[in-house]
Structure 1
Amino acid sequence: MRNHLQVIFLPTNKCNVNCEYCFEDKTDDRMTHDQLTSVITKLLDFMDGAHIGSLMLHWQGGEIMTMPVEWFEKAFDIIEKLADERGKRIDHGLQTNMIAYHPRWNDIIKKMFGNSVGTSMDYPNLYRKLFKGGPDDYTKVWMRNVQAAREAGIGVGVIAVTNQRTLELGAEAFYSYFVDELGITNFQVNTPFPGGEDNTTKEDIALENDGLARFFNELTDIWIKRGYGKGINLSPVDQIVARFSNEPNSLPCIWQSNCADEFIAIDARGFVAQCDCWVTSYPEYFFGNIFESDSLADLLAKSPARKAFLDRPLAIIDKDCIECDFLSMCHGGCPVRTYTYKKTLNEKDPFCSFYKQLFRHTESVAVGLLGNRSLGSRHPNVSPELVTALVAANG
């Protein structure tokens, strides 16, 4: 862990929708305020011992808005009091499907969550469904509630998961839907994660590397022409371009040097794991239960599962990655995607070929942005049209 601790926090495992590709093991568990006090106290103890000054709680579920607003109002007071007593800073982020959003959430979103929320929507939406209604019904409710939140001054960021139809419709249709039609200026595009119990939908959403690479590379070019320098944040593309341009950047968790050094997840039952994907899908990789341990530091130190995460980079680099040009960016990729597809931690990410193609393309884009002809000679595939667009976008 570093001087800043990040926790993916799931105070409820309950959800209010019926998405076909969901990887989570849903339960009706919900954390009480007494349990919350215990968790926050142990997190602060851990921070004291590790000389960590600040904590970021990423609140999600399940579905976070299945809990009452009043629960969060009291939770915020509890957390603020405990943090002030220790001289620590605790910040909060909120991820919600927005289906249960109501204006009564506005005050706590402003006070606790910086007046912004994260949500999810795909283009096209094929698999996100209400319990009574299909994808179209889900999309209508989502769009109505997102619009209401934005009219109330709440910032809304979107995570989109690609599917086969996304690739068929193409990057132009995808970008136009989110930016031009919905007016979204902050969104992230994820590859599918078919974790948890198998079903036919999860088999169908498995996408091949070359198709993903073509889509993301086209999306990169569109963003450069229409969004770069114009207030459109498109992750991970914008962060990769920034990385190759020697600008400040924050690559997503799948490409961190070791996610075991970045964050942990805690769910409503008290189980601790590497991230939300692990704590809701794979009990064999739980680190332990924070309700049953007096010390988070001891729980982590004694966990064979956590040791496996800490050891993973060395286990795969010599075998798969040592000669890769992008080792310092990718570090072998995402362990949970690897485990889901290959049933082991100790192999590289199954999307390796896609990542390499995306990195090569965005590197060439960054070269164009920098206007460095000596480096540009290494990238003969950069079209004159794209270079012109890069120069225009860079002002």
Structure 2
Amino acid sequence: MTRLPAADWTQRHDLAELVACLGPDRIRYVGGAVRDTLLRSEVEDVDCATTLLPEDVLAHLKAAGIRAVPTGIEHGTITAVMPLGNVEITTLRKDVATDGRRATVTFASEWADDAARRDFTINALYAHPETREISDYFGGLKDLEQRRIRFIGDARQRIREDHLRILRYYRFQARFGSELDKEAEEACTELAQTLKGLSRERVAMELLSLLRLPDPSVTIRRMFAQGVLSVILPETGKMELTTFDRLIDAERENTIPAAALRRLGALLPPERKAAEMLGSRLRLSREQRKRLICIAQRQTDDAQNPRALAYRHGRDCAIDRLLLLGADCEVLKNWDIPQFPLKGGEIVQRGVAAGPEVARILQSVQNRWVEEGFPDRRRVQAILEEELA
């Protein structure tokens, strides 16, 4: 018998109140909290499964004075708003029909039925909230020990139920795996084209989650070799991945945290049009698209004046472009981008008529100020005198 190790989150007083409210034999901790605790990793969210129907969960929470939000009640999910972190509580389910994009489910009464509809064995581990005894229906404990990501049941069938599981497989493999599962690898390769039927938002979410992991380079290379990456990023079809590998090394050497968009930019050719098309296709936000486009406009001479680069394009984009070149970012650390100490009104006061000529002079002074390394206002005034002369 395997028990869930004691962890900070298992000692939460508000969780004890939740368990008492719903009944310890009618609720189980499940999924990431169980998996990550067994791996001695930090637990971010606590999810629970229950034999209670959603309306009964709501009634019990109300009786206990616990605020409940029906975040996904049509799928059986209620969010309990708790002092130490919200908890999602989902009624046991089993699939009735699937089409690769969404599933029709019905509520179930058996824990094993609920486990059978989950994606990977390591995500189908249930822990009793009081005894902490773990129920393992598909060998997830052994797979976790061997760091193997394995689909529950037939891998191809599980992917046909939800095509996004291909990307989830690679993400979990990059995060937890070391031993490759042959069936999973073959199924993902064989069914890669099914990813085209998914919503772009779902693809973007999984892809960015994969790219922000500490070092996904081995997994990205495998996705590339297996033809999976080119399905979701056709821009990579004729590329090599040397820029991506160099970026991972540069981030590590400069002790700069991973950024998913920076790494996504490393998988694209340095072309504005490619970034614009991808940003639109993946339904990225305006800010995300702006950063991706800035990355795509990188030049080989960016490293010649890193501070000028940061002034013109912002610190984040400057660091992105320097790292993509494998350049040192030390000069930008703890450097505050200065404000240009000259306004157009001052030029007008010197007798220049308001209009294009003021803008031209202002731009010329600013360019020289940047190239000279952002000197003080006295030098800016001197530069202005030279331009006016």
Higher relative contact order (CA 8 A, sep 6+): 1
**Higher Cα radius of gyration:** 2
TM-score normalised by L of structure 1 = 0.30
TM-score normalised by L of structure 2 = 0.30
